[in-house]
Amino acid sequence: MHLDQLGWNPVFAHHFEPYHHSGHVVGRVALDHRHVYTLYSEYGELPAEITGKLHHQATGSQDFPVVGDWVVMQLRDEATRASIHAILPRMSQLSRKAAGDKTDEQVLAANIDTVFLICGLDGDFNSRRIERALVLIRASGANPVIILNKADLCDTPHPYILDVEAIAQGTPVIALSALYDPCLSALDPYLQVGKTIVLLGSSGVGKSTLANQLMGQDVQAVQAVRHRDDRGQHTTTHRELFCLPSGALLIDTPGIRELQLWASEAHVDETFAELEAWTGQCRFRDCRHLHEPGCAVQAAISSGELDEQRFLNYQKLQREQAYLKQRQDHLAQAQSKAKRKQLSKAMRRHPKR
């Protein structure tokens, strides 16, 4: 495999320069199974594990390699396996807050150019979920494309397209059926040589079907949705990087049950940019947009100019982001305190002479 075909570019080459003359080479993470990795490289496909030093230096799951990462590695056993020594700085990364009470970042994919946000038109459609996902995609540094899949199962897809375009802030919206090849030509502009696309969506929306069609072969198993509630069943159980016949690279991911925010206030505001026009017109600068006199937001909702559910979701995501930031600040303070304490102990053990 040539590195250019895997998405290598001058930025990564610059970051690799310090390792260039030390016997190290680079590879890209294609598969991660509980910290046992498969790498694509100029030496072919290699199994790999991280070194003890890299493991020790990691402060959280975000410091371990993920699918899409470029890693610095050392070849072992006549170039039949490798040890991962470092991760090159990521140009982009799609993250969410990890499940549970801890304030941890879970990186879903790294060094991606485009996120195909896939929604089904067979019962999975949810505007509020699309808004939430768009916040995370904008925070990732990648470009979103919204795909309304299973258009063949919907008698009138056009109203759904209009609904999504109204909240998409210029993001491309494409309705198609992953089962039919002619529909997929709309995706050609994003499937360029060396570009990396990640599939994001709930279980059952057709991510694996789309991956198989783009590959031209069945690389992922597929399952039917449950007819009683149109809920999907997990087919893909891990993240994996595929090389497409077009020369692009595709990362398929398991169905997402929940997308907890890992984004800044600016990314929330960007996703709901048109609301600023209303909030800026309120009589009082500290208006909470409830029952205050002169509230332009409530007036716009009453007149039908503003979708109330979209505004309520905006407020919900604002609260969630503010709580996340508070937790992140507290965690940073605790970590800083622990480091100072550790340094103080080390200085007492080894006083200057």
Binding-site residues for Zn(2+), in ranges, read: 282, 287, 289, 295
- Which residues participate in the annotated binding site for GTP? 149-152, 201-209
CB-CB contact of 23 with 74 (8 Å): yes
The DSSP code sequence of 220-232 is: S---PPBTTTTB-
Tokens linked to 282 = 């309120």
How many C-beta atoms surround the C-beta of residue 136 within 10 A? 25
CB-CB contact of 74 with 58 (8 Å): no
Helix (H) or strand (E) holding 242: strand 240-243
Q: What is d(CA 149, CA 153) in angstroms, rounded to the nearest whole number?
A: 9
Helix (H) or strand (E) holding 145: strand 143-149
- Which residues participate in the annotated binding site? 149-152, 201-209, 282, 287, 289, 295
Please name which of 143, 33, 25, 141 lies closest in space to residue 88, comparing C-alpha atoms: 25
CB-CB contact of 210 with 22 (8 Å): no
CB-CB contact of 198 with 240 (8 Å): no
Q: What is d(CA 335, CA 38) in angstroms, rounded to the nearest whole number?
A: 32
Tokens linked to 53 = 């030093």
Please name which of 232, 235, 239 lies closest in space to residue 253, comparing C-alpha atoms: 239
Beta bridge partners of 283: none
CB-CB contact of 43 with 33 (8 Å): no
CB-CB contact of 93 with 110 (8 Å): yes
76-81 contacts at long range (C-beta below 8 A, 24 or more positions apart)? 79/43, 79/46, 80/46, 81/46, 81/47, 81/48
CB-CB contact of 174 with 146 (8 Å): yes
